[in-house]
Each structure stands twice: as structure tokens, then as C-alpha cells.
Amino acid sequence: MSTVLVLNSGSSSLKYQLVDPAPGDALAAGIVERIGEASGRASHEVRGARTVREGAVADHGAALRLVLELFEETGPSLGEAGVVAVGHRVVHGGTSFSAPVVVDDDVVAAVRDLIPLAPLHNPANVTGIEVARELLDVPHVAVFDTAFFADLPAPAATYAIDRGTAAEHGIRRYGFHGTSHEYVSRAVAEHPAVTAKLAAEGRGPETLRQVVLHLGNGASASAVLGGRAVETSMGLTPLEGLVMGTRSGDVDAGIVFHLIRSGLSPDEVDTLLNKRSGLLGLGGVNDMRELTRLIESGDDDARLALDVYLHRLRKYVGAYAAVLGGIDVLAFTAGVGENAAHVRAGVVEGLGFLGLGVVPDLNAARARESRVISPTEPEAPARPLVMVVPTNEELAIARQSLAVLAAR
Ligand code: ADP
């Protein structure tokens, strides 16, 4: 067995999963939270059985040592699990990384150099890589959230601001959630309903036009043509684009200057737009399940929050259909996209002019597999497919880690 330990280091958390990439199984998964605080907590899950440890965890090194202890005590033993690599999720790869890389000192330095572009994420990613390299003597691979979007066409990647200033400060559209968009768009392209549709229309896979909506707590859209990302909604940072749990998505940049001139500090505006906006800012809660309960109890603010969320999504799907010159598949993924049938219905409502629609029973059904929820042939042969495709970023990172090692 060849397994990969996938690590996702946040500023105060360490998420991990031990993955057997061939069948795509998670052998164990867990999280250490509130690193650096007195009330630290680790939760380790193996085949449905959870072990929880409470108590202070000083730093990421202590967190990873705790994880290794939990593996030894409750299994599976990492020594026996055949760990051949550690795969690290790294948020920002800038223009330096358009594919996963085997980590060496130069890679660590390059990820550190990108900290100004991702001050909230890359510092923790660097720390996670450093402590893991000390404790786990196998090759380490960095997989970048931006990589799938590294070759966005120039018109999509370029902000219309002074070129010299943009070049000096590395300002362009990078995109995020790329591991998920790549995994989902590939699963779509391989789905039998999609290959059958292309075959029936006498088209090759290079013509497949997809819009992928990754709707989690963070949310992003991508337009994918024949497997290549040609547009995405997040930009220099993950703030741009869709309405999210706590982020505003698109706003007039003039709001920033107005608030700063009105006395808010840059950090306060940053916190406002990243942490106190979106569904939370409008409806009082960032979790879609809670928002839905509020709406059902007649809460008008929650209703407006969902209406703004859906309006933004419809605008993006329409815009991306225009970018692609049509749409063959609209795919929903992540926590909201995979589970919230009313959100999927709300997005396609009003997009009937693009041929988009869902069958209520198919939309309401729950499943772990990728599935089509739009009317199927023979009723609707030429219409685009609407699909629900579960994402699995850990599996994608594990597989990419093995692939980059095999190519060495
Ligand atoms: P993250 O970005 O943190 O990885 P997830 O992909 O786990 O986020 O998505 C979290 C979001 O998914 C939350 O808003 C949550 O309410 C929503 N969600 C999860 N399960 C359901 C469900 N059954 N119905 C509606 N929303 C759900």
C-alpha cells in the first residue's frame, strides 16, 4: 500500500487526512484546532470512531507531534501504512508555481516570498511544511490552490489598472480553490452522461464548456473549456467574486477608500470585507443551514442575504456562459453546492434561457456520487446538464503528490 498524508495548515489549525489514493479512501482524518491558545483541541477519526484530546497546543510543531501520537495510539500506524509522501495544501503559488512541486529549501523560500500576496494563509503553510519536514522523513509535495488558474488567458487574469503599478506589486487575478475546480471539472468530463452527450453531438472533449460552482464557506466559480480554466471569480485574493459565508465578494473598490477616509483603518476594512460580510453581514449567520432555518422562520434579513447570494451566482453563470460561448455543464460542489437543493434550484431559476433547469426529484435526492439533476435524454438531448459533483481536495492532493513523485 502507498498512502499519502495530506496536511492543510491554517493560522491556528492543522487539518490532515491519510489517503490511500488508488481506491481513493480516507484511512484517517482529523483536525487540531486553536493552536497557540489555552483551549486547544484535537479530533482524530478512524472508520467512524473519534478520539478527542483537549488541552493547550503550543504551536504547529506540537500539533503535528500530537497528530503522530494519535496515529500511533489509535491507528492506523503510520509506520505500517506505507506513507510515501506528505502532500501540503499551499494557498498561494503566485506566478512561480503552475503545478505541484517536490518541496526543497528553494520551494520553502519561494512560498515564503509569496507571503505579501497571501498574508493570512502562506505563513501557516510555510510553518506546516517546515515542521512536517522535520518530523516525517519522506518526500514532501506542495500543491497550490492557485495552480489550476496559473495560465488563465491574459484578458481574464489582468486587472485594468496601471500596468507598471500592477507589475511592481504582483497584482493580477490568481484564482483560488483550484484543486477543487480541477478535480470537479475532470470528474465532470469523465462522467458517462457527459461523454455520451459529447459523442451524441459529434464533439471532442476539447470543446466541453463547463461552469463549476464551488460553494462552501468560501465560494468561487470557474469557467473551464476542454479542461483548461479560462475564468474564475477569485482574484488577487480570495475576496473577489461570489457572496460567501463571511466575505463580500465583488464590491466597488471605492467602498474601501470611503471607509478609510471615514476613519476605519485598513485592517478594519480588511476584517469587515473578509470576516463580517457575505451571508453573515447581511443575514447574521454564515452557515447556510442556519440561514435557511432563519428564512423558514420568516426572517427578512436572512431572505435578503440569500437573494443577494443567488443573484450574484446567476450573474456569474450568465457571464461565464458568455465567456465560453455557451454552456454544456453547470456543476455544483462543496458544502452548499452538494447539499443545498434550494440553492441549486435558485441558481438555475431564471437561467432557463440558457437551457438550464433541474428536475425537483433529482435535485432533492441525496447521494455521495456525481449525478445529473437536469432533465435527461431523450426529453432534453441538446440542453446543458446540471450536475452535483462531490469535491475531494485531499484525494486530489494525494494523487497529485504521487504523480509528481512518479515523474521525478
Ligand atoms: P469550507 O469552505 O469550510 O470547506 P464546506 O465546503 O464544508 O466549507 O461548506 C460549508 C457550508 O456548507 C456551510 O455554509 C454549511 O451550512 C453548508 N452545508 C453543509 N451541509 C449542508 C446541508 N445539508 N444543507 C445546506 N447547507 C449545508
Q: What is the structure's pLDDT at 75?
A: 85
* Pocket perturbation via mutation, ligand 1, pick of 213, 288, 342 by most ligand atoms within 8 A of CB: 288
Ligand 1 pocket, 287 CB below 6 A? Answer: yes
**What pLDDT digit, counting tens, does each position of 287-303 carry?**
999 999 999 999 999 99
* CA 154 / ligand 1 centre spacing (Å): 33
Instruction: Report residue 274's pLDDT band, with 50, 70 and 90 as the boundaries.
Output: very high
Q: What is the structure's pLDDT at 119?
A: 87
Task: Report the nearest-CA residue for atom 12 of ligand 1.
Answer: 335
Q: What is the structure's pLDDT at 11?
A: 87
* CA 245 / ligand 1 centre spacing (Å): 9
* Angle ∠(195,197,201) on CA atoms, nearest 5: 115
The secondary structure of the chain, three-state, reads CCEEEEEEECCCCEEEEEEECCCCEEEEEEEEECCCCCCCEEEEEECCEEEEEECCCCCHHHHHHHHHHHHHHHCCCCCCCCEEEEEEEECCCCCCCCCCEECCHHHHHHHHHCHHHCCCCHHHHHHHHHHHHHHCCCCEEEEECCHHHCCCCHHHHCCCCCHHHHHHHCCCCCCCCHHHHHHHHHHHHHCHHHHHHHHHCCCCHHHCEEEEEEECCCEEEEEEECCEEEEECCCCCCCCCCCCCCCCCCCCCHHHHHHHHCCCCHHHHHHHHHHCCHHHHHHCCCCHHHHHHHHHCCCHHHHHHHHHHHHHHHHHHHHHHHHHCCCCEEEEEHHHHHHCHHHHHHHHCCCHHHCCCCCHHHHHCCCCCCEECCCCCCCCCCCCEEEECCCCHHHHHHHHHHHHHHCC
**What pLDDT digit, counting tens, does each position of 199-237 carry?**
999 999 999 999 999 999 999 999 999 999 999 999 999
Q: Catalytic pick from 20, 105, 106, 145? A: 145
**What pLDDT digit, counting tens, does each position of 36-55 carry?**
998 999 999 999 999 999 99
Looking from the CA of 335 toward its CB, the CA atoms found within 13 Å total 10
Ligand 1 atom showing the smallest separation from residue 286 Cα: 14
- CATH 3.30.420.40 maps onto the chain at 3-144, 192-393
The yes-or-no verdict on residue 19 having pLDDT over 90 is: yes
145 catalytic residue (yes or no): yes
Ligand 1 atom showing the smallest separation from residue 334 Cα: 6
Is the whole model's pTM more than 0.75, yes or no? yes
Tell me the average pLDDT across 291-316: 98
**What pLDDT digit, counting tens, does each position of 319-339 carry?**
999 999 999 999 999 999 999
**What pLDDT digit, counting tens, does each position of 58-90 carry?**
999 999 999 999 999 998 999 899 999 999 999
* CA 122 / ligand 1 centre spacing (Å): 24
Contact between 3 and 84 under an 8 Å Cβ cutoff? The reply is yes
Ligand 1 pocket, 21 CB below 6 A? Answer: no
Tell me the average pLDDT across 372-390: 86
Share of the chain above pLDDT 70, in %: 99
Share of the chain above pLDDT 90, in %: 94
**What pLDDT digit, counting tens, does each position of 255-272 carry?**
999 999 999 999 999 999
Ligand 1 pocket, 217 CB below 6 A? Answer: yes
CATH of domain 192-393: 3.30.420.40
**What pLDDT digit, counting tens, does each position of 362-375 carry?**
999 998 899 999 99
* Pocket perturbation via mutation, ligand 1, pick of 217, 290, 309, 363 by most ligand atoms within 8 A of CB: 217
Ligand 1 atom showing the smallest separation from residue 245 Cα: 14
* CA 335 / ligand 1 centre spacing (Å): 3
Task: Report the nearest-CA residue for atom 13 of ligand 1.
Answer: 287
* CA 366 / ligand 1 centre spacing (Å): 14
Binding residue positions: 8, 15, 89, 214-218, 287-289, 335-339, 393
CATH of domain 3-144: 3.30.420.40
The yes-or-no verdict on residue 381 having pLDDT over 80 is: no
The yes-or-no verdict on residue 377 having pLDDT over 90 is: no
